[in-house]
């Protein structure tokens, strides 16, 4: 529905530009006539506008229609999905960052349009959608080497040191980019021609990083019979985090395409540069749940059980009146910023080789790069504190008692993303 | 022309498949072995077997071993292996998973503390025979600790109350096959002194229950605790197969 609305808007923009340009054309009759040099040019050297894309035929109503479908093997770069840190087992200064890498996910880049009569120009619609879900996990049971960098940090890790012996991270990236542009010839020579364009661009970009940090083999003192009944609820639960943002922006763009003829009307290079300035809304979200062991009396947390949890042993000797009062307490924190005005911009460049292998069909191969600046954001709590009341008044879905955390400060990190890669496809012109 | 279109279509299909690489999994099965032992301060005893000269007339040569022994306690106790009952459980976390799969356990058994750590099997030294009191002879003199089966059978009347050593049903060590990336978790808990009769009669100090781990015969250092000394205490250790 949104795409249709944007298409309709583009059509209106196109019609308006057509009308405006027609007025200008009427003031400059020479521009609507074929240059004398072209009429006398040798037949084997065709003018550039006869190649790509084909301009509108004179006095023929709607001009040429074309559609181009590229398979763009684009790899997002700069997403910076940092899942965890990895401690070097021997070098205290050798901690590294573990990031979720992105792959070369192919997706279709679709362009289509039509020429306006009297060589006024072309209306071109472009649509690109990229979707990528990635999963990364590392499990080293018993070796607590992974830093829980995406949690709130409050009592993170089974040993309260912010470390886990495994993690699983899932990323979700969505991009939708729609353009509606008006192209018009800027210059042309025997071997080179150029077209400027202006238009409307609508971009939405979603990013999400969800991570679970495990204590797979925490090696806690065993609570096993017959000293104590098993307590599955004391098995360490995974600390979790979820960081996401959604950007929806729109704005104007302008740029220039240049074609370099290589061989007759059959082979040519085409390169382009476009810049869009967008204004939009950014919605961000952050959640984190960490856990700790605490003594609970009369529904109130009275003390924290500290590692190495020798109390698990001691209480059993005493017949275990204490272990029954120990609970694993969840400490969640969640922040949502539903709407924040943000500026973003897009720079798109590409270089392609066109090969016309049939009257109306071309093969296209090239390299394209689109840089989306400031279309992602990470919102995190700076410092968190327990609410003043230590009375448990809420329980999670798994029955865990909950103590809420308050975020004292917030930190925002802007993210940009580049999509770049080779593409090839087919273009049909009627 | 059709060939060209077909080639382009095939290229598009190939490209749309994208890149997908899968790392090969390496490493074959390996054998992990878990052992447990207990140590404590125990008395040292010198023991002689009692033989008799049953010939008529006596010929000065002992020819029958009696069921009796002479035991003499030495002054200084030593720290050595002792049998001690404990409960145990071993679980497996397969590579790429986070769930523990129980392999063997005595936790839910009728007698959870049916595991017994190995006895001391060392003979500290041989000692000279005592002077005979004809027709009895004190032969085969040796010095052993109270942690030996020899001491228990020779110098106490509780021999039948002591069980054979075992770990999760196996005599000395518990072994099984694992794959690279697997993790085994071993949990054990000592029986309380007050409940550990007659074993508690052997020791003069707190018993330390400890464990050792070997992969394909090579000793490995696990994560977590490998021993416990507090009464009734337990430990959990894990070994990840590399």
Over residues B44-61, the pLDDT tens digits come to 999 999 999 999 898 989
Beta-carbon contacts of residue B215 (< 8 Å; ≥ 6 apart): B30, B31, B32, B33, B239, B241
Q: How many C-beta neighbours within 10 Å does residue A324 have?
A: 12
- Say which of A105, A139, A222 has its CB closest to residue B234: A222
Peptide bond into B198 cis (omega under 30): yes
Burial group, residue A67, by CB count within 10 angstroms (0-12, 13-18, 19+): middle
* Whole-number pLDDT of residue A385: 85
Its sign, for the CA torsion B121, B126, B127, B130, is positive
pLDDT band, very low/low/confident/very high, at A16 (cuts 50, 70, 90): very low
In this structure, are residues A376 and A245 in contact, taking their beta carbons and an 8 Å threshold? yes
> What is residue B207's DSSP assignment?
P
C-alpha–C-alpha distance, residues A395 and A404, integer Å? 11
* Whole-number pLDDT of residue A38: 40
* Whole-number pLDDT of residue A235: 87
- Tell me the pLDDT tens digit for each residue of A34-69: 444 444 444 443 444 444 444 434 444 567 899 999
The yes-or-no verdict on residue B198 having pLDDT over 70 is yes
* Whole-number pLDDT of residue A413: 93
- Tell me the pLDDT tens digit for each residue of B117-173: 999 999 999 999 999 998 999 999 999 999 999 999 999 999 999 999 999 999 889
Determine the average pLDDT of the residues in A260-265: 90
The percentage of chain A sitting over the pLDDT mark of 70, rounded to a whole number, equals 81
In chain A, which residue's Cα lies nearest the Cα of B229? A313
Determine the average pLDDT of the residues in A108-132: 93
Of residues B17 and A296, more confidence is placed in A296
In chain A, which residue's Cα lies nearest the Cα of B188? A222
The yes-or-no verdict on residue A392 having pLDDT over 70 is yes
The label of the residue with tokens 């006398």 reads: A40
Of residues A117 and B198, more confidence is placed in B198
C-alpha–C-alpha distance, residues A127 and A140, integer Å? 43
pLDDT band, very low/low/confident/very high, at A400 (cuts 50, 70, 90): confident
Determine the average pLDDT of the residues in A232-249: 93
Beta-carbon contacts of residue B56 (< 8 Å; ≥ 6 apart): none
CB contact under 8 A, A227 and B232: yes
Q: Which residues of B touch A424 (CB under 8 A)?
A: 11-12, 15
The label of the residue with tokens 């209480």 reads: A315
Of residues A15 and A309, more confidence is placed in A309
Q: Which residues of B touch A320 (CB under 8 A)?
A: none
The yes-or-no verdict on residue A394 having pLDDT over 90 is no
| A421 phi, psi to nearest 5 deg | 165, 175
Of residues B63 and A52, more confidence is placed in B63
Helix (H) or strand (E) holding A23: helix A2-27
* Whole-number pLDDT of residue B149: 96
Domain that holds residue B172: 2-240
How many domains in chain B?
A: 1
Q: How high is the mean pLDDT of chain A?
A: 83
Q: How many C-beta neighbours within 10 Å does residue A387 have?
A: 12
- Say which of A143, A220, A224 has its CB closest to residue B89: A224
The label of the residue with tokens 């020791």 reads: B203
The percentage of chain B sitting over the pLDDT mark of 70, rounded to a whole number, equals 89
Q: Which residues of A touch B17 (CB under 8 A)?
A: 106
Question: What is the ipTM score, two decimals?
Answer: 0.76
**Of the listed ranges A317-321, B20-24, B106-110, the one predicted with least confidence:** B20-24
* Whole-number pLDDT of residue A68: 94
Q: Which of residues 155-184 of B touch A (CB under 8 A)?
A: 183
pLDDT band, very low/low/confident/very high, at A228 (cuts 50, 70, 90): low
In chain A, which residue's Cα lies nearest the Cα of B108? A225
Whether A103 has its CB under 8 Å from any CB of chain B: the answer is yes
* Whole-number pLDDT of residue A6: 41
* Whole-number pLDDT of residue A319: 53
Determine the average pLDDT of the residues in A191-200: 96
Whether A131 has its CB under 8 Å from any CB of chain B: the answer is no
* Whole-number pLDDT of residue A226: 57
Count of alpha carbons within 13 angstroms of residue B37, beta-carbon side: 16
The yes-or-no verdict on residue A32 having pLDDT over 50 is no
């Amino acid at each position: 529905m949104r795409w249709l609305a944007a298409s309709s808007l583009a059509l209106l923009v196109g019609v308006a530009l057509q009308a405006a340009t027609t007025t200008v054309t009427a003031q400059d009759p020479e521009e609507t006539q074929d240059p004398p040099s072209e009429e006398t040019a040798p037949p084997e050297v065709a003018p550039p506008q006869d190649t790509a894309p084909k301009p509108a035929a004179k006095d023929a109503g709607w001009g040429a229609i074309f559609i181009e479908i590229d398979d763009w093997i684009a790899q997002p770069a700069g997403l910076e999905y940092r899942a965890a840190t990895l401690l070097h087992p021997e070098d205290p200064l050798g901690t590294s960052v573990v990031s979720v890498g992105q792959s070369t996910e192919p997706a279709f880049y679709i362009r289509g349009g039509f020429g306006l009569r009297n060589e006024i120009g072309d209306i071109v619609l472009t649509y690109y959608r990229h979707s990528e879900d990635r999963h990364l996990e590392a499990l080293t049971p018993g070796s607590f080497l992974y830093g829980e960098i995406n949690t709130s940090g409050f009592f993170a890790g089974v040993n309260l040191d912010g470390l886990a012996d495994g993690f699983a991270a899932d990323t979700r990236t969505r991009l939708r980019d729609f353009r509606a542009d008006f192209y018009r010839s800027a210059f042309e020579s025997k071997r080179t021609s150029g077209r400027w364009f202006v238009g409307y661009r609508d971009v939405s970009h979603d990013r999400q990083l969800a991570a679970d940090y495990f204590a797979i083999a925490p090696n806690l003192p065993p609570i096993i019979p017959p000293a104590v009944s098993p307590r599955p609820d004391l098995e360490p639960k995974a600390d979790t985090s979820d960081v996401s943002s959604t950007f929806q922006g729109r704005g104007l763009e302008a740029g220039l395409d240049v074609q370099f003829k290589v061989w007759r009307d059959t082979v040519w290079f085409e390169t382009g540069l476009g810049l869009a300035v967008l204004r939009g809304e950014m919605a961000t979200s952050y959640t984190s749940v960490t856990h700790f062991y605490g003594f609970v009396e009369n529904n109130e947390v009275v003390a924290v059980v500290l590692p190495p949890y020798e109390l698990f042993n001691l209480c059993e000797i005493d017949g275990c009146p204490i272990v029954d009062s120990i609970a694993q307490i969840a400490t969640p924190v969640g922040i949502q910023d539903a709407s924040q005005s943000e500026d973003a911009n897009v720079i798109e460049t590409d270089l392609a080789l066109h090969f016309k292998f049939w009257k109306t069909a071309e093969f296209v191969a090239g390299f394209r790069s689109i840089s989306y600046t400031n279309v992602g954001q990470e919102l995190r709590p700076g410092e968190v504190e327990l609410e003043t009341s230590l009375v448990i008044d809420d329980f999670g879905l798994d029955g865990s008692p909950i103590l809420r955390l308050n975020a004292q400060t917030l930190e925002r990190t802007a993210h940009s993303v580049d999509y770049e890669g080779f593409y090839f496809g087919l273009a049909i012109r009627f | 022309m059709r060939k060209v279109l077909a080639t382009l279509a095939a290229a598009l299909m190939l490209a749309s498949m994208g890149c997908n690489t899968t790392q090969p999994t390496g490493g074959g099965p390996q054998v992990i072995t878990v052992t447990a032992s207990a140590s404590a301060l125990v008395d040292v005893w010198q023991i002689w077997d009692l033989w008799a000269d049953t010939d008529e007339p006596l010929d000065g040569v002992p020819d029958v071993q009696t069921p009796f022994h002479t035991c003499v306690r030495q002054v200084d106790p030593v720290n050595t292996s002792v049998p001690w009952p404990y409960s145990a459980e071993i679980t497996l976390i397969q590579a790429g998973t986070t769930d523990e799969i129980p392999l063997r356990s005595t936790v839910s058994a009728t007698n959870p503390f049916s595991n017994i750590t190995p006895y001391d099997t060392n003979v500290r030294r041989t000692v000279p025979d005592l002077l005979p009191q004809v027709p009895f002879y004190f032969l085969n003199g040796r010095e052993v600790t109270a942690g030996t089966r020899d001491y228990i059978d020779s110098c106490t009347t509780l021999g039948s109350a002591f069980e054979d050593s075992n770990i999760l049903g196996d005599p000395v060590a518990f072994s099984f096959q694992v794959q690279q990336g697997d993790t085994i978790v071993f949990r054990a808990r000592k029986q309380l002194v007050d409940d550990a009769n007659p074993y508690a009669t052997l020791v003069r100090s707190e018993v330390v229950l400890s464990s050792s781990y070997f992969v394909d015969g090579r000793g490995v250092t696990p994560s977590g605790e490998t021993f416990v000394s507090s009464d009734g205490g337990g430990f959990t250790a894990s070994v990840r197969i590399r």
